[in-house]
Structure 1
Amino acid sequence: MIREPSEAARRRLRRSLPLAVVCGIDPVLRDALTTDLLLDTADLVAVRYDTDPDRGGLRRLVLDRGGVLEDVPLELAHECISCAMREDALPVIEALAADPRWSAALMVLPVAADPQAVCGTLGPQLRGAHIASTTAIVDTDAARADLLGDDTLAERGLRWTDGDERSVGEALAAQLEYCDTVLADGEAGAPGAELVEHLRGHDQLLVHGVHEVSVDLLLEDVVHDPRAAARRVDPRTVEPWGGPTVHGTWTLDLCSDRPFHPERFLEEIERLGSGELRGRGRFWLPTRPHSICQWDGAGGHVSIGVIGAAGADLPTTRIVVTGIGRLDRERVRRAFRASLLDDAEWERGLAFWLGRDDGMTPWLGEASAAS
């Protein structure tokens, strides 16, 4: 005898559990949002991860409005915490998707997590669930210090492992620039709110007030588009967003078809990247005409590296820099111009540079004919 499936079983078969991913660098704001949403929604479940830098592991909590359902310490099979979290989350979320008690779920990332590193891999692997939205929480009252200051995660007690050398600004900017929704807590007209306006994309939803957010806003008002999110943070497609300037925030769009002169670039790198700045984009060198190089800086911490091949056409140089100091703006502009090949050097052509040592091996690796 064939039994007809129950209504609950029918719902499980035809639904895909919507998953809202939440991240931030402030554990208090992150947990306050999680608690508010759980208390307001009976059929919502949350999977929260926390790092343990001293033990070198992860902790997974599963929570609903009644409290903690699971509290599991996780030993890492390898050094990549993001990889370990994705591997653990996949079966956990799929099991929750099969449970008729839940109509939606939150995945609350560890403080300072890069959402792209998690969502980019986890999303395509989920079965019975899908990433519906991603949300970054930003304290606008502290945004200037967090995004443009020189504090490291280690100095704030937020590092993931002993080798985590990221700055606070680097971690927060990665969250703010990737996520579909930017949840701003603090005064809407504050200087930090103005800075957030300059850094967020026009296609991102900005919401003020952590305690004003509903599950519907995260799961119905926003749709996660992984390609759009990846494009926002890709140095090859960087764009200047700009915003209000009442509190002196500015954004420069520094563009050129020309490459940086290797020696002058190294001489100017401090003037180009030091101070209260957020800068990101791409550049190229005449010694490596087939390589696209990344510039990623926040609060005086700068990272450069090769991120891809240029293809048939020569690459271009474009760095978008946001800051708050008037003198910094002109210093950065001058440093960018000084770093580029001048007219005579550009007219000389690229053959002059082939095979020359550019001094960039420690950051970009060995140059080759294909570089």
Structure 2
Amino acid sequence: MSVPIVLVGGLAATAAERIADELADAGTAVVHHDLCRVTEGVVRRRLRHRGEDSWTVLELGHGCVSCTLREDLLPLVEQLSGRADVSRIVLHLDPRVEPEPICWALDRSRVQAVVTAVDHETWLDDATGDEAMYERGLGGSADDERTVAQVAVGQAEFADVLVLTGPAGRLDAVFRRLAPTALRVPLGGTEWLSGLPANARRGRPDSAHGPLLRGQPPLDREDGFELLLFSERRPFHPERFHACIDVLLDGVVRTRGRVWLASRPDVALWLESAGGGLQVGHAGPWLAAIDDWDGIDDDRRAMAALNWDPYYGDRGQEIVVLTDGADHAEITATLRGALVTDAELAAGLSTWDSYRDPFLFPDREDELR
């Protein structure tokens, strides 16, 4: 039987350490990589098991989180998994680490739970700000451009259990929309580990072409938080869309979605924002753009079939925005204003190919956020 793995992390580092301590029973091996000096190529690894507590200094060829994962964490997990005296592995993550890429690298069937420690007093400010991780001394590599908001939101959104350091207050409303399948529990005790719901994520990432709403989050407004769903079939004009994306930042906790640009008829883009940080990247081809569907998972085929349009195929805009005070009417009107007009739609692909696409030039700061 595979040894189960529990990931414990979060920006609330002291609380995360306490959770890891509480999980450290006789058969549990607790692994922690201290990444304070990772950009210098130095990582301190702590291993606790059956009363033993050892530190090892690792010197990496290139200082980054991914190197630590590849060169030490994964081999160590396999080594511990082969030991008869190890019945569970707890990965106590450094606060700068997000759990999703760790779960990608692990055998996800072994992930028992992902636990995120949340500071009830600071999380919302972190999740809606624009401070860079390196400004807080938490850069994961020399070129880490993540914001604190992106990390705070990513850690919470991917969790099966959110452990709060104090009264939830407004956080209860935001987490019911951001991470609706996650348990929300107070700090102290680990009884929640045996009470995860059947639809717990357990390390499984979302597909870029899957449903954007996980579980059954409430769609009404509560304590200022509300979900906005933007769905349209026609493409965005690339320049107008680039000019309007700031509307997805102010008063917004989280944006996630698939985007179709007129200048890119074959490729879906994935848009993601948290607080003052926003990223746009490739999400692979639209099914309408490929002839061979071998290897396409059944869920995506089914979803495409339900929404297939004779002209557009599966192309379209699907964006979910979790707001905290932003005007939904303004966001919707702004995004609709970036769609191609009737005249532009009638002009077709030959004209769309000539549109200047500011997302094509990542080396130009004025052309790509």
TM-score bracket, normalised by the shorter chain, equals 0.7 to 0.9
Structure 2 residue corresponding to 1:48, chosen from 26, 32, 40: 32
Superposed counterparts of 1:192-341, under 5 Å: 192-201=171-180, 204-214=181-191, 217-218=192-193, 221=196, 229-231=204-206, 234=208, 237-239=211-213, 241-242=217-218, 245-312=221-288, 313-325=313-325, 327-341=326-340
2:109 is the alignment partner of 1:154: no
RMSD of the TM alignment (CA)?
A: 2.8
On the 8 A contact 2:252/2:321 being kept in 1, the answer is no
Provide the C-alpha distance between the structure 2 equivalents of 1:353 and 1:102, rounded to a whole number of angstroms.
59
Q: Deviations over 1:156-177 (max 9, x none)?
A: 2222223212111111222222
Distance 1:133 1:297, change over 3 A: same
Distance 1:358 1:85, change over 3 A: closer
Provide the C-alpha distance between the structure 2 equivalents of 1:249 and 1:26, rounded to a whole number of angstroms.
23
Structure 2 residue corresponding to 1:181, chosen from 148, 151, 161: 161
Q: Deviations over 1:279-307 (max 9, x none)?
A: 11111111110011111111121111222
Deviation at 1:277, TM superposition (A): 3.1
Gaps of 5+ in 2: 289-312, 365-369
On the 8 A contact 2:233/2:317 being kept in 1, the answer is yes
On the 8 A contact 1:18/1:219 being kept in 2, the answer is no
Aligned residue identity for 2:245: I
SS of equivalent residue, structure 1 residue 289: coil
Q: Deviations over 1:36-67 (max 9, x none)?
A: 222xx232220111212453332211124736
Q: Deviations over 1:316-363 (max 9, x none)?
A: 2111111211x4433322221211123333343333212443233114
Structure 1 residue corresponding to 2:76, chosen from 92, 96, 107: 92
Provide the C-alpha distance between the structure 2 equivalents of 1:110 and 1:279, rounded to a whole number of angstroms.
25
SS of equivalent residue, structure 2 residue 130: coil
Deviation at 1:87, TM superposition (A): 3.4
- Among the aligned pairs, what percent are the same residue? 28
On the 8 A contact 1:59/1:71 being kept in 2, the answer is yes
Distance 1:276 1:343, change over 3 A: same
Match of 1:116 in 2: 100
SS of equivalent residue, structure 1 residue 318: strand
2:95 is the alignment partner of 1:103: no
Structure 2 residue corresponding to 1:57, chosen from 30, 38, 42: 42
Match of 1:8 in 2: none
Distance 1:243 1:66, change over 3 A: farther
The aligned length equals 337
Provide the C-alpha distance between the structure 2 equivalents of 1:305 and 1:48, rounded to a whole number of angstroms.
31
Distance 1:292 1:271, change over 3 A: same
Aligned residue identity for 2:10: G
Gaps of 5+ in 1: 1-14, 366-371
Q: TM-score, normalised by structure 2?
A: 0.81
Deviation at 1:227, TM superposition (A): 9.1
Provide the C-alpha distance between the structure 1 equivalents of 2:10 and 2:209, rounded to a whole number of angstroms.
22
Superposed counterparts of 1:341-356, under 5 Å: 341-356=340-355
Superposed counterparts of 1:8-19, under 5 Å: 15-19=1-5
SS of equivalent residue, structure 1 residue 265: helix
Distance 1:75 1:336, change over 3 A: same
Aligned residue identity for 2:184: V
Structure 2 residue corresponding to 1:164, chosen from 144, 155, 180: 144
Q: TM-score, normalised by structure 1?
A: 0.81
Distance 1:182 1:205, change over 3 A: same
Provide the C-alpha distance between the structure 2 equivalents of 1:364 and 1:317, rounded to a whole number of angstroms.
26
Distance 1:103 1:314, change over 3 A: closer
Structure 1 or 2: more helix by fraction: 1
